[in-house]
Structures are given as C-alpha cells and as structure tokens.
Amino acid sequence: MVVDAKAQGFSLERYLKEKKAIVETALDQSIVTAEPVTVYEAMRYSLLAGGKRLRPILCLAACNMLGGTTEMAMNTACALEMIHTMSLIHDDLPSMDNDDLRRGKPTNHKVYGEDIAILAGDGLLSYAFEYVARTQGVPADRLLQVVIRLGQAVGAEGLVGGQVVDLQSEGKTDVSIETLNFIHTHKTGALLEVCVTSGAILAGAENAKIQKLQKYAQNIGLTFQIIDDILDITATQEELGKTAGKDLDAQKVTYPSLWGLEKSRSEAQRLTDEAIASLEDYGASAAPLKALAEYIINRKN
Ligand code: GRG
C-alpha cells in the first residue's frame, strides 16, 4: 500500500477538521431563508444536516494542488454539496429508495412531505448552477467549463442515467459486472469526478493535467462505491446514519454479492494504489488528495 501522505508528515485528521469547518460555514451562508419559508427551510434542513463533506473537500484540494486558492473554488465546492444533497433527498423518496433516515436524521420528505422534498431538491439543484456562475475572481471561460461538466455529471449522462439503470436492475439476479460498473460510474462516480476536475479547471490547469486527474477521480469513485456496498453489509445503522442492509432487502446486486467481501476489498485497494500513484508528479502538494484516497477506502461511514 502506498502511504507517502503520512510519510510527508501530513495530518489528514487536521486537514479534514479544518476544511470541514470552512465548508460548513460557507454552506450555512450560501442559502439564506426567504419567502416561501418552507422550501428554504427544507433546503437548509438537508444541506446542513452534516455528512462527511467529501465532495467539496475534494474540489478544494484539487484546486489548491493546481495552484488555485480556496476562495476560487468555494462556490463550486458548495454547489457540489447542494447537488449531492438534492440527490440524497430524491433518492430517499418513497418512489425511489424509500428511506426514513439520512445523516442520522429523518429524511426530508418525512419532515416536510413528499411534495416539498421534491421541490427542495429542485431548488438546491437550480441554485447550485447559479452559485457557480456567481463565483468572483475566476475567468468566465473556466466557470463555463465547470457548468458544462456539472451538467454532464448530473443529467441523463451521469447521476440521472445511473439512477435509472439502478432502478431498472432492482430485483434482477442476472445483473452483470458491466451493468454494475455502469450504474456506479454514473450514479456515484460522475459527481466525484467533477469534484476533482472542477477544482483543477478553476485553478486554470491545462487539459493534460485535468485528464490525468480524471483517472485519479475515477479510481477513488469506484473505490467509494465498493466500500459503500461493503459497509451496507458490515456496518450498523448507528455507524452509517442511514438504514443498513438496504441492498440485501432490495435484492440489489452489489460488488460483494458478485465478488465476495475479500475480492471487493482487494479490488478497492488496487484502485486506491493506482489513484495515489497517478499523483506522483505533484510531490508534497498532492498529500491531501493522496490522503483523501486512503480515507475513502478506510472510512467507517
Ligand atoms: C441529480 C437531478 C438529479 C437527480 C437525482 C436520485 C438520483 C437522481 C440519483 C441517486 C444518486 C445517489 C443517491 C447516489 C449514491 C451516492 C452515495 C454513495 C451517497 C453517499 O454519499 P456519502 O457517504 O454521504 O458521501 P454523506 O452523507 O457523508 O455526504
């Protein structure tokens, strides 16, 4: 296993604590309650309900590694969390995964009703794009690139497409590894990928660098999902802050169901090693992204 982030004296614990705190403050300031109050409250309820804040932190880390400032990336970092949060709100709806618990709290529709939960998701999604466009101090062509990539990651080519195939595959026992990979590279991987690439674009990185980082992001994206599938089996509801054992109940094909736990873990390790190795050119400035790859494979929730 490659562990040079530690060897460089970098403390991921300190880094996450510091970045999480600035992201929480920025998120709190990003949406101010206005009329109609109900929908703003519902948006803020889920947006500020906690969570690891991995997506905004990946965006900030990529931007910083490529020489950009935290200020340049903060609006996009918040927008990524708005989009992630809205996807969770919609995923939890009775017509989708039908869940009562998210981030250790009742799901949005349990508190505000299905109609407002749908609209709160719509509000977050729309505002995310506006919020990127309102970024100060970054050339407009970079912002345009970010908006295009975000749209691709979220729409039918990305999250939406992945979710559709996931719903269509439920209850089927003959789901192939290719279909499973399609579901997760779209449903989970696409957003994680744009977290990293948008950070690099905002910093003004050239195409070759963005493409190389895309490979890092794809590897951590797939690892993230393999670990998610493993945790669904091995962790408790309290540890996860959401219902455990959902995949088995919904008769979903997962990486552990296709490969077993041992091969799932070794595949996640292979992807993580590859992700870390792809950052070699960046030396010490890659310590946060390397450590985040290790965090993803070692996470407990
Ligand atoms: C995006 C337009 C649009 C619609 C949504 C419902 C849907 C379409 C897609 C589902 C996407 C989804 C919920 C994917 C699962 C991703 C995943 C593994 C989430 C858990 O992420 P964590 O562990 O959660 O980072 P926290 O709470 O820590 O942020």
Give the start-to-end residue ranges of the domains of the chain.
12-24+51-72+132-298
Question: Which of 16, 24, 84, 194 has most ligand 1 atoms within 8 Å of its beta carbon, as the pocket-test mutant?
Answer: 84
For the entire predicted model, the pTM comes to 0.95
pLDDT tens digits, one per residue of 13-70: 999 999 999 999 999 999 999 999 999 999 999 999 999 999 999 999 999 999 999 9
Give how far Cα 107 sits from Cα of 81, 92, 140, 252, Å: 17, 7, 37, 21
Q: What are phi and psi of 101, to 5 degrees?
A: -130, 135
The domain over range 12-24+51-72+132-298 is classified in CATH as 1.10.600.10:
yes
Bond prior to 36 in cis (omega within 30° of 0): yes
Interstrand relation of 101-102 and 105-106 (parallel, antiparallel or unpaired): antiparallel
Contact between residue 52 and residue 239 where contact means Cβ atoms under 8 Å apart = no
pLDDT tens digits, one per residue of 250-269: 788 999 999 999 999 999 99
Question: Which of 16, 55, 88 has most ligand 1 atoms within 8 Å of its beta carbon, as the pocket-test mutant?
Answer: 88
Round the average pLDDT of the chain to a whole number and report it: 95
Is residue 126's pLDDT more than 80?
yes
Please give the average per-residue pLDDT across 184-191, as a whole number: 97
Please give the average per-residue pLDDT across 116-124, as a whole number: 98
Instruction: Please return the burial class of 182, using the count of CB atoms within 10 Å of its CB with bins 0-12, 13-18 and 19+.
Output: middle
Does ligand 1 come within 6 angstroms of the Cβ of 54?
Answer: yes
Cα 54 to chain centroid, rounded: 6
Determine the pLDDT at residue 173. 86
Would you state the structure tokens that stand for residue 237, as one six-digit string?
A: 């509801």
Determine the pLDDT at residue 118. 98
pLDDT bin (cut points 50, 70, 90) of residue 8 is low
Does ligand 1 come within 6 angstroms of the Cβ of 125?
Answer: yes
Residue reference for tokens 């990003």: 30
DSSP assignment string, 226-257: HHHHHHHHHS-HHHHTS-SSHHHHTT---HHH
Is residue 1's pLDDT more than 50?
no
